[in-house]
Structure formats: structure tokens, C-alpha cells
Amino acid sequence: MNYLYQMTIDDYLEIVKRAQANGVKPGESMEKEFVEYAKEKKLKCLGATELTKEELACEHASHGRKVLKVDTDENGQQSYQVVKPKEE
């Protein structure tokens, strides 16, 4: 089960900063730091889903929403993709 949270880019950057301070290397999980931060800041959980990131992005795009999909490779390099609604 994957849980979805409402957060800002500032929230994300703070989680990354904390992970780096804890010695987390690029591409490693920041789940521990995220959970601690989410509890501390009382981030709102929007729900849960069985869908993968790719399936969820396509599902939202099919409902007319633009989705920013962020991926991180094993070297810590991030790539961004805007998933747009399909034109009819």
C-alpha cells in the first residue's frame, strides 16, 4: 500500500536536508526522515493506493490534471517529467 501526502517543495527539501545530515546517500531511502517530519509537521495524508507511481500519474492525467513526476536514479540524479492530459 502506498500512502499519499500533501506537502510543499520546502517540506521535501527539509526532508532531504535531514537525510543528508543522517548520512543517507543519494538513491537510498529517506523514509525514516519522512515519517519523522510528517509526524512533526502533521502533514496531511490524502489517502492510500495500490497503484505504482507511474500508474497514479497516468490516472491523474486521465482526469485532466498535470502531474510532476520526480524520479531519482541510483546515483542520486533526479529527473522530472510533466505528465499531461491526453488531447482528445
Domain ranges of the chain: 1-50, 51-88
88 pLDDT above the threshold of 60: no
Distance, CA of 69 to CA of 78 (rounded, Å) = 10
Set of cell numbers at residue 17: 536536508
At residue 49's C-alpha, the angle toward residues 48 and 51, to 5°, is 155
User: What pLDDT score was predicted for residue 7?
Assistant: 87
- Mean pLDDT of the residues in the chain: 86
Which phi and psi angles does 28 have, rounded to 5°?
A: -85, 160
Q: What does the pLDDT read at residue 41?
A: 94
What pLDDT score does 76 carry? 75
pLDDT of residue 33: 96
Question: Strands (DSSP E) along 15-64, which ranges?
Answer: 44-49
Give the predicted TM-score (pTM) of the model: 0.63
Question: How far apart are the two ends of the chain, measured CA to CA in Å?
Answer: 32
